[in-house]
Amino acid sequence: MAVDPVAESQPLTVMGEIVAVHGIRGAVKIYSHTDPLDSLLDYTGWVLRQGAHQHAVKVVSGRLQGRVLIVQLKGISDRNQALELVGHEVCVPSTSLPDLEPGEYYWHQLQGLQVFTLAGELLGVVDHLLETGANDVLVVKPCAGSLDQRERLLPYLPEDFIREIDLVAGRMQVDWDPEF
């Protein structure tokens, strides 16, 4: 497949991952990171990325089946072609994401933020988020200069624990006891 130079120059957001093939006609199974899961199908032009390699693809058809999407991509017509795509991230240009209301954030915007207590103690950086059902959870991993080397799980409840998020400064302030 040819690499789309436009796709290479745009910032991308990971929206899912190809986890398996489906059938013999080249369909793939995708684990979607979107909510709802099938909203990934709203974006018909994707960029598939694995390491430093990426290429643009078009969605021919797709449907939700259980917790995965079954998707047929243009130009992929057999199982062997589809097998080559397993493990690729499914990305879309970040500029194509819908605007959010003030105080709302995409998960990818929170990843990498330094997390400080109200007393100014650095707990670490947001590594990733977990969806638990009741509420999302920030996984905060230690970094250079952090208070200690503990990984912490902080509930992502802006009304209760998150006091400030400053994307420009790359930091988040939380009302959290570092002993937890």
**CA 132 – CA 43 distance, rounded (Å):** 26
Out of 96, 131, 151, a domain closes at 96
* pTM greater than 0.75: no
pLDDT digits (tens, 9 = 90+) for 112-122: 999 999 999 99
Question: Are residue 75 and residue 117 in the same domain, yes or no?
Answer: no
Shared-domain flag, residues 75 and 13: yes
Q: Taking the CA atoms of 71, 77, 80 and 85 in sequence, report the sign of the dihedral they define.
A: negative
**DSSP element (H, E) containing 58:** strand 53-65
Give the count of domains, the chain.
Answer: 2
89-110 pLDDT, tens digit each:
999 998 888 888 988 898 889 9
| CA atoms of 160 and 134, how far apart (whole Å) | 14
Span 64-91, mean pLDDT?
97
113, burial (CB in 10 Å: exposed 0-12, middle 13-18, buried 19+): buried
Structure-block tokens of residue 81: 């072609």
Asked if residue 112 belongs to a domain, the reply is yes
Q: Which pLDDT belongs to residue 159?
A: 87
| Residue numbers of the domain that contains 11 | 5-96
Instruction: Find the CATH number of the domain harbouring 47.
Output: 2.40.30.60
Asked if 76 and 146 sit in the same domain, the reply is: no
